[in-house]
Amino acid sequence: MKILAVEDDPVARKVLVQALRRLGYEDVTEVRDGMEALAQLEKEPARVIVSDWIMPGIDGLELCRQVRARLKSDYVYFILLTSREADIENQREAIEAGVDDFLVKPLDLQELWMRLRVAERILRYATQVQQLEAFLPICSYCKKVRDDQNYWQQIEGYINARTGSEFSHSVCPDCYQRLIVPELEELKRKAVKPAVERQ
C-alpha cells in the first residue's frame, strides 16, 4: 500500500516516515507541503495520505478537498495529523473537508497502526465495490440491464437511477436504414393497396 506523508516540519516528517516504516509500510513517499503532495499524486498515485493540518500554502484540509475533487481516480484514505485540540468543531471541519481519520500530535505509534489497518480494510472493500460496479449484466438481445435486486430495466433507467443523467432519444443512421426505412415503405404499400382496391 503506497502512502504519501505530507509534513512541512522536517523533524516531524522524519518521525512520521520512520513510524510508518517501523509499522511495516516501506512504500512511503515524503513531501513538504500540499503543493508538492498534489504534484506527487499526479506522477504516482497513493492509496493513503497522512498529512499535517497546518502547513504553508495548501494546508491539510485544502489538500484533502483537492484530492476529493479529482475525478476518475481510486479512493484515497486521508488521515489528518494535527497539534490542534481534537474538539468537536475541529473534527467536524476535518470531516466536512473529506478527511477519513484524525490523529492528534504527538504521534502515537499504536494509534497510527490502528488507523492504517482500518485504511487497508476500507480500501480493499472500495476496490471490490468498484470491480462489482464495473461489471454490468446486460441482455444480449433487448439490451436491458440487471440491477442488484435481479430486476431487468432499460439501460437509460438504470443509469438515471445511479447518476441522475437524463436521456434524449434519436435514431442513428444505421438503425434508420435498417428499421425506419422498411417500416415507411411498408406503410406506403398498405396505404396504396386500399386506394387501388377502391378503384
Shared domain for 43 and 16, answered yes or no, is yes
Query: What is the tally of structural domains in the chain?
Result: 3
pLDDT at residue 194 tops 70: no
DSSP state, residue 149: T
Shared domain for 25 and 86, answered yes or no, is yes
Q: Residues 73-88: pLDDT tens digits?
A: 889 999 999 887 767 8
Shared domain for 198 and 114, answered yes or no, is no
Shared domain for 151 and 178, answered yes or no, is no
Is the pTM higher than 0.85? The answer reads no
Which contiguous run of DSSP H or E holds residue 190? helix 181-198
Domain boundaries, position 140:
136-168
Shared domain for 84 and 152, answered yes or no, is no
Q: Which three cell numbers stand for residue 34?
A: 500540499
Shared domain for 10 and 69, answered yes or no, is yes
For residue 53, what is the domain's CATH number? 3.40.50.2300
Shared domain for 181 and 113, answered yes or no, is no
Q: Are 98 and 68 in contact (CB under 8 A)?
A: yes
Return the CA Rg of the chain: 28
Q: Residues 21-46: pLDDT tens digits?
A: 999 999 999 999 999 999 999 999 99
Shared domain for 101 and 56, answered yes or no, is yes
Shared domain for 108 and 10, answered yes or no, is yes
Question: Can you tell me the distance from the alpha carbon of 133 to that of 30, in angstroms, rounded to the nearest whole number?
Answer: 33
Shared domain for 148 and 193, answered yes or no, is no
Q: Are 18 and 43 in contact (CB under 8 A)?
A: no
Give me the helix-helix angle, 34-43 and 60-69, nearest 10°.
30
Q: Give the sheet arrangement for strand 101-104, strand by strand.
A: 28-31, 3-6, 48-52, 77-82, 101-104
* Structure confidence at residue 195 (pLDDT): 61
Q: Residues 158-176: pLDDT tens digits?
A: 777 777 777 777 888 888 8
Shared domain for 19 and 67, answered yes or no, is yes
Shared domain for 128 and 152, answered yes or no, is no
Residue pointed to by grid coordinates 473537508 = 97
Cis peptide before 106 (omega within 30 of 0): yes
Q: Residues 92-137: pLDDT tens digits?
A: 889 999 999 989 888 899 999 999 999 999 998 887 767 666 667 7
